[in-house]
Amino acid sequence: MKREIFIIFLLLLLSFPAVRALLAPGGFTSHDLTHHVIRQISMDKLLSEGQFPPRWSGELNNGYGYPVFLFNYPLPALVGEVFHKTGLGYVDSVKAVLFVSMILSVLGMYLFLKSFLGLRLAALLGAIFYLYAPLRFLNVYVAAAVGAALGGALVPFVVWSMVKVTKSQKWVWVGALFFALLILAHNVTALIFSSLILAFAGLLIWQSKDRWNLGKRLALMFILGLGLSAWFWLPAILEKQYIRFNEVYAGFYKDQFVSLWQLLRSPWGYGLSHPQNPEPGNMSYQLGLVQIAVMICWIPFLWAKRGIREIRVIGIFIVSFFLLSIFLMLKISLPVWERLPFLSLVQFPLRFEALAILLASMAAALLVKYLPNRRLIFICLLVLVIYANRNHWNINQVFDPGENYYLSLKTTTASYNEHLPKWGRVMPKEPSAKLEIIRGIGEIRVIQDQSAQVVAEIETTASAKLRFNQFYFPGWQIQVDGKPVKFNYLTEGESYGLPVFDIDNGNHQILAEFKNTPIRNMADGIGIVSVAIWLWLILLFRGAKRRGKLS
């Protein structure tokens, strides 16, 4: 135990240079930090209104509404909410999630490699290799891609759980939880790593003496993880047909392929991504010179040690997926992207670099385990990987306009507004009111104004036409005096995309509610059943532990 505590302390000490810049007060210039701060504010509001799962924000898109957490991964903002409730501001809460993602990635990778390889020194080096890679710093300090950063931190915990499942079935519930958290943290990262995770599961099953039982355990782990996160991913997939995502990103990846030279070496910058037409100050695409050097050394090492079964099997696994990740980032893979439509969800081929980084970390750990003079190799590689990334662990510029600045922003929290309903549009200014009389005369008094529920009273002297200033999305229902009313949201002119309905003269109460669709009800139901099964497994394994056996 003392040795493990020392190792964890050493990991945190070695990680400090990588996270030090996040401890400075205020925000910083980046691609997405402002988007995530606005989402954090929105998450806080939706949860305070009792909306769970949080899905629709009535304030975003300048008050015309936006399905922010129907399609945007919710876990980073949920974790950020924990920090916010402890007293941190919205900006610092988002930065805290970035900080935690870096620390968790080191700890998770150490746990995985130690369980998989059985050597602390090798696991320690692999964990540092996983942290000190250009892409990790790009996600945090250049893009502030909170979802990708947190997703990258959770992947090692998933594969660690899989290794533990091979030794005891009680780890199934742990693995299911981490798999669900990965999907909720960043669905794109989960998609990128899905092939590797499944192949790794196949590798573990093939190496096991009890393949049938291990296969059932891992299958239960994945199915339960999908069930626990179904409330997010199932509506996101089945209701994507109503938003602009495909129009925006259908061929977006075609201009984002990098060259082999850019993976080897490209200047560090804080600008946007234009790999095929690079401009001064653009972001870097480098994989990491030390990571590449380790993989180059890994090929002859694999050949020389091919007689060792562990190296032969794991080595082929590492090399195959490393080459696959490089291939998918280069333009020669364009026919594959065009034939596999789900790849367009990845948007940036560079994101497959996350696969290469994890595999290079595994290769570095194996070199330490099997080469002679392991301590010398450990020290040399440790110094080299930290030194090679010395210019990457800083922000570009401080940007600290204050919390009120972010509170005043009501954007769509996306650069390309890809989650807008197909019939909606970006609104330049806020509406005069949630409910508006567009024909006739009357007076409206809003009693309750929440994202998922608006209650108002109206008094008119003649029949009138009203507009509900929230873009329609499946789930919106409007009642007048407790009775559903038909509305039209495809009216031309200023009403386009906004529900419009008629009302008789007199005094009326209007209720507009954003309710679940059958798809969302099904997804929530699967989630509830999965939580019940998950809790039952915990109780089952705890009870079996008390009895001293597992059936």
Three-class secondary structure assignment of 197-252? HHHHHHHHHHHCCCHHHHHHHHHHHHHHHHHHCHHHHHHHHHCHHHECHHHHHCCH
CB atoms under 10 Å from CB of 256, counted, come to: 19
Which amino acid would we find at residue 402?
G
Which residues on neighbouring strands pair with residue 510, listed in sequence order?
456, 480
Q: For the chain, first and last CA: distance in Å?
A: 29
User: Running DSSP on this structure, what letter comes out for residue 142?
Assistant: I
What is the Cβ-side half-sphere exposure of residue 522, based on CA atoms within 13 angstroms? 9
Residue 512: its H or E element: strand 506-514
Beta strands 500-503 and 483-484 are unpaired
pLDDT at site 3: 86
Residue 333 backbone phi and psi in degrees, to 5: -90, 5
Beta strands 435-439 and 464-468 are antiparallel
Q: Is 45 in contact with 452 (CB distance < 8 Å)? A: no
User: Percent helix, strand and coil across the chain, each rounded to 5?
Assistant: 60, 10, 30
Output the CA torsion 439→422→517→223 (10° steps): -170
Assign 132 to helix, strand or coil: coil
Give the separation between CA 132 and CA 16, rounded to whole angstroms: 11
User: From first to last of its 551 residues, what are the pLDDT tens digits of the chain?
Assistant: 788 889 999 999 999 999 999 999 999 999 999 999 999 999 999 999 999 999 999 999 999 999 999 999 999 999 999 999 999 999 999 999 999 999 999 999 999 999 999 899 999 999 999 999 999 999 999 999 999 999 999 999 999 999 999 998 889 999 999 999 999 999 999 999 999 999 999 999 998 888 999 999 999 999 999 999 999 999 999 999 999 998 888 889 999 999 999 999 999 999 999 999 888 899 999 999 999 999 998 888 877 777 777 788 898 899 999 999 999 999 999 999 999 988 999 999 999 999 999 999 999 999 999 888 899 999 999 999 999 999 999 999 999 999 999 999 999 999 889 999 999 889 989 998 999 999 899 999 999 999 999 999 999 988 999 999 999 999 999 999 999 999 999 876 655 799 999 999 999 999 999 999 999 999 999 999 999 999 999 998 877 666 655 44
Burial class (CB in 10 A: 0-12, 13-18, 19+), 99: buried
Give the separation between CA 156 and CA 104, rounded to whole angstroms: 9
Which amino acid would we find at residue 173?
W
Q: Is 104 in contact with 153 (CB distance < 8 Å)? A: yes
How distant is the alpha carbon of residue 180 from its chain centre? 11
Contacts of 88 (CB under 8 A, 6+ apart): 96
Give the separation between CA 131 and CA 388, rounded to whole angstroms: 12
Beta strands 27-28 and 483-484 are unpaired
Assign 459 to helix, strand or coil: strand
Give the separation between CA 182 and CA 186, rounded to whole angstroms: 6
Q: Is there a cis peptide before residue 53, judged by omega within 30 degrees of 0?
A: yes
Q: Where are the domains of the chain?
A: 23-396, 435-515
- 435-515 carries CATH number 1.10.287: no
Query: CA 510 → CA 261, 421, 434, 452, 457, distances in Å?
Result: 62, 24, 11, 14, 6
Q: Is 106 in contact with 15 (CB distance < 8 Å)? A: yes
What is the Cβ-side half-sphere exposure of residue 335, based on CA atoms within 13 angstroms? 1
| H-state helical runs in 20-67 | 33-48
pLDDT at site 547: 63
pLDDT at site 551: 45
Q: Is 389 in contact with 132 (CB distance < 8 Å)? A: yes
pLDDT at site 298: 84
Is the entire prediction scored with pTM above 0.85? yes
